[in-house]
Amino acid sequence: MDVIRLLSDSIANQIAAGEVVQRPASVVKELMENSIDAKATSIQLIVKDSGKVLIQVIDNGLGMSPTDARMCFERHATSKIKESADLFNIRTMGFRGEALASIAAVAQVELKTKRSYDELATLIKIEGSEVKSQEFIQSPQGTNLAIKNLFFNVPARRNFLKSNPVEMKHIIEEFQRIALAHAEVQFSLFHNEIEIYNLPEAKLSKRIVDVLDKSYRDQLAQCQIDSSFIKINGYVGNPQTAKKARGEQFFFVNKRFIKSSYLHHAVTGAFESTIPQGSHPFYALFIEIDPSHIDINIHPTKTEIKFDDEKAIYAILRSAVKQAIGVYNLTPSIDFEADINIGNFINTLPSNPNFRQDSGKSISAFEREPKSLAEINEKSNRNNWEKLFEGFGPKINQAEDEPQQLIFSSKVNRIEEIVQLPKDGTDINAIQVHFQFIIAQVKSGLMLIDQQSAYERIFYEKYLKEINTHPSASQQLLFPKTVTLTAIDYAMSFEIIDMIRNIGFNVEEFGQNTYLINGVPSQFMDEDEGMLFKSIIEQYKINENNQKMDKKEALAKTLAKRNATKMTKPLTKPEMSGLINQLFETSMPSVSPDGKPVMSILSLEKIATLLLN
């Protein structure tokens, strides 16, 4: 009996949708790129419930004929290529003819389209790849495509979607990439009938400021270089704008957004020691290259590209960024009227450029980050620790000391033999070194404590308890302060805003991407409220990628790190004793929330060895 059979078109399209349509943001990308290919000068994106209920793109592009309107939902139906050679001369965003067919397989679709010379527009309704109706209606020139109830017929896929704030963050990211790549086009974005963006046609520098952050206005350095091989245009940011969280790094190849850790390494290498380790500079860089020297057909989302000579591009890119840093000294005066929007210069490039870089050892884009320490199951707590503070007096008729029970793991001294603290914490014999470390005398030798890491552990458990229980008291501000976030940060804030309120922030929504801060936790009263709020959101974005940490832990960790940085200060002996007491009341006193060691024991034998040597 034969068992192999052809799948129906609807099932095949659903399978294809698994690669093309991963989430609502995937639909946004495909529809907006179609509008760009249709030469639209105005594109409106309307979203409801983060794209789960509605994604609608309205443009004033060329429109389609009734036949093309029906044909565009068929698999591998495209106007962009006719033969295999065309794959290496692609200048449009789309070309495979997969996207609309895949979208129509997992959603309810309504298409309205009209060309300038047509009397009537075409209306087509499709559900799960099945055409429900087609008729003629009145509608303006262009295309209006509404995608409703995404994954309505694939509940398993719908269940795997993230929360609304996370999905909206991804939608905004796709919107930003396309808006930056096409500054000559007017864009707008509405979410649940609230305007998020309204971007008129602009120069690239102004588009960057309007899309990302107003603070970039005086922090951009122009990056520009021409060669017979490629042309690079764009802007890089002042090192002071570098952020711990990634997300504001943009590469465009022939106006197509791409991801490349290799080219990212070229940019960060050009900055060298001008930014802190672990920070990421802003850049929006446009690479123009003859399409015959790249292959964009290697990834379903077309965000990865193969170059004929990647090493040559690396060298030119690094040189261009270095030149921008040097010439402008990173304090540029940007002319917002000057136009460096990327034009179409491809036809002027020679077909066989002679620029080549000698091949050499390939550059690894990033070293792997050190693995976090395995979670340490501490046996110690306040009720069973030490003997570390016992035995300082003379030993009379005392049996031989029991051997010291120390276990070493991942370079961290795990204290398994821990003894009870003195009832009077002031009896702890401790000194402070350079406002950073505390040395306490214990039975087995010396206990070394990292002061900031110790406070991180204490604050972390304090904030985690507050988040999990009830709101903490808030210190009310005499004059409430507004803080405006980027669109992405504002979307992400809804993930944790209730928890932020629990730890003592009195905040309320106050218009477009803005919060009104009425009160803050008392321990943060000496800080700028707006900068504090922004930093909490940014740090949360960094921690959210840690799959082992839930939202509450991520927020508690963020606040603990920020508060602990202020604690590298002189401490009195009672304060040192209090710190040690509080530390050993925590669940894991020997490691910080990051898994870094808080303390280490330096035994008498080790001290003797160091001195004798």
Pair (193, 271) in one structural domain: no
| Cα angle: 192, vertex 193, 194; to 5 degrees | 90
Question: What's the rounded Cα separation, in Å, for the pair 511 and 462?
Answer: 32
pLDDT for residue 371 is more than 50: no
Residue 462 has which token pair? Answer: 């304090």
Task: Specify whether the CB–CB gap between 442 and 380 falls below 8 A.
Answer: no
Q: Which of 558, 546, 19, 514 is nearest to 300 (CA)?
A: 19
Q: Which of 479, 474, 531 is nearest to 500 (CA)?
A: 474
Of residues 93 and 593, the one with the higher pLDDT is: 593
| Cα angle: 484, vertex 489, 494; to 5 degrees | 100
Q: Three-state SS string across 207-268, please?
A: HHHHHCCHHHHHCEEEEEEECCCEEEEEEEECHHHCECCCCCEEEEECCEEECCHHHHHHHH
Q: Say what the pLDDT of residue 238 is.
A: 83
Tell me the CA end-to-end span of the chain in Å, nearest whole number: 83
Pair (385, 512) in one structural domain: yes
pLDDT for residue 565 is more than 90: no
Pair (26, 124) in one structural domain: yes
Inside any domain, residue 108: yes
Task: Specify whether the CB–CB gap between 40 and 61 falls below 8 A.
Answer: yes
Pair (216, 195) in one structural domain: no
Question: What's the rounded Cα separation, in Å, for the pair 308 and 294?
Answer: 6
Range with lowest mean pLDDT among 4-8, 182-186, 204-208? 4-8
Mean pLDDT across 575-600: 90
Provide the total of helices (H) and of strands (E) in the chain, helices listed first. 16, 24
Inside any domain, residue 465: yes
pLDDT for residue 503 is more than 90: no
pTM for the predicted model, two decimal places: 0.74
Mean pLDDT across 39-57: 97
Give Cα 270 distance to the centre of its chain: 22
Helix, coil or strand: residue 284: strand
Inside any domain, residue 351: no
Percentage, residues of the chain above pLDDT 90: 39
pLDDT band at 94; cut points 50, 70, 90: low
Pair (436, 332) in one structural domain: no
pLDDT band at 19; cut points 50, 70, 90: low
Of residues 81 and 607, the one with the higher pLDDT is: 607
Q: Say what the pLDDT of residue 546 is.
A: 64
Place of tokens 């989302």: 301
Pair (432, 566) in one structural domain: yes
Q: Where are the alpha helices (DSSP H) in 427-550?
A: 451-468, 487-493, 497-502, 529-543
Mean pLDDT across 316-344: 64
Pair (253, 111) in one structural domain: no
Q: Which of 66, 91, 116, 499 is nearest to 256 (CA)?
A: 91
320 Ramachandran zone, left/alpha/beta (phi>0; psi -120 to 50): alpha
Range with lowest mean pLDDT among 130-134, 470-474, 500-504, 588-592? 470-474
pLDDT for residue 536 is more than 90: no
When divided into structural domains, the chain yields a total of 3
Q: Say what the pLDDT of residue 90 is.
A: 63
- Which of 173, 199, 225 is where one domain is finished? 199
Inside any domain, residue 362: no
Q: Say what the pLDDT of residue 379 is.
A: 42
Inside any domain, residue 418: yes
- Which of 144, 179, 199 is where one domain is finished? 199
pLDDT band at 542; cut points 50, 70, 90: confident
- Which of 145, 177, 199 is where one domain is finished? 199
pLDDT band at 245; cut points 50, 70, 90: confident
Inside any domain, residue 367: no
Q: How confident is the prediction for the chain on average, in pLDDT?
A: 80
Mean pLDDT across 180-202: 96
Of residues 305 and 491, the one with the higher pLDDT is: 491
Mean pLDDT across 455-462: 92
Q: Say what the pLDDT of residue 350 is.
A: 42
Residue 441 has which token pair? Answer: 């005398």
State the CATH number of the domain containing residue 451.
3.30.1540.20
pLDDT band at 96; cut points 50, 70, 90: low
Across 18-22, 347-351, 357-361, the highest mean pLDDT is recorded for: 18-22
pLDDT band at 438; cut points 50, 70, 90: very high
Give Cα 439 distance to the centre of its chain: 39
Q: Which of 591, 500, 592, 505 is nearest to 551 (CA)?
A: 500
Please state, as a whole number, how many other Cβ atoms lie within 10 Å of the Cβ of residue 398. 8
Q: Three-state SS string across 32-81, please?
A: HHHHHHCCCCEEEEEEEHHHCCEEEEEECCCCCCHHHHHHCCCCCCCCCC
Pair (485, 449) in one structural domain: yes
Inside any domain, residue 495: yes
Pair (39, 161) in one structural domain: yes
Give me the sign of the Cα torsion angle 121, 127, 131, 133: negative
Pair (113, 248) in one structural domain: no
Q: Say what the pLDDT of residue 208 is.
A: 94
pLDDT band at 374; cut points 50, 70, 90: very low
Pair (89, 110) in one structural domain: yes
Task: Specify whether the CB–CB gap between 106 and 14 falls below 8 A.
Answer: yes
Bridge pairing between strands 42-48 and 186-191: parallel
Task: Specify whether the CB–CB gap between 483 and 523 falls below 8 A.
Answer: no
Task: Specify whether the CB–CB gap between 436 and 450 falls below 8 A.
Answer: yes
Sequence-separated (6 or more) residues with CB below 8 Å from residue 33: 93, 94, 178
Please state, as a whole number, how many other Cβ atoms lie within 10 Å of the Cβ of residue 405. 10
Inside any domain, residue 364: no
Q: Say what the pLDDT of residue 86 is.
A: 55
Of residues 525 and 385, the one with the higher pLDDT is: 525
Residue pLDDT, tens place only, 392-433: 443 433 333 433 333 333 333 344 344 345 555 446 788 999
pLDDT band at 375; cut points 50, 70, 90: very low
Phi, psi of 293 (to 5 degrees): -105, 10
State the CATH number of the domain containing residue 265.
3.30.230.10
CA Rg value for the chain? 30
Question: What's the rounded Cα separation, in Å, for the pair 590 and 567?
Answer: 18
Whole domain around residue 61: which residue ranges? 9-199
Of residues 159 and 215, the one with the higher pLDDT is: 159
Question: What's the rounded Cα separation, in Å, for the pair 305 and 294?
Answer: 7
Mean pLDDT across 570-583: 90
Residue 164 has which token pair? Answer: 């609304």
Q: Say what the pLDDT of residue 551 is.
A: 78
Give me the sign of the Cα torsion angle 67, 68, 69, 73: positive
Q: Long-range contacts for 204-210 (Cβ within 8 Å, ≥24 apart)?
A: 204/180, 204/233, 204/234, 204/235, 204/284, 204/339, 204/340, 204/341, 204/342, 205/235, 205/334, 205/335, 205/336, 205/338, 205/340, 206/336, 207/179, 207/180, 207/183, 208/180, 208/235, 208/284, 209/336
Pair (329, 449) in one structural domain: no
Label residues 216-248 b or e (16+ Cβ within 10 Å = b). Answer: beebbbbbeeeeebbbbbbbbbbbebbbebebb
Q: Say what the pLDDT of residue 120 is.
A: 96
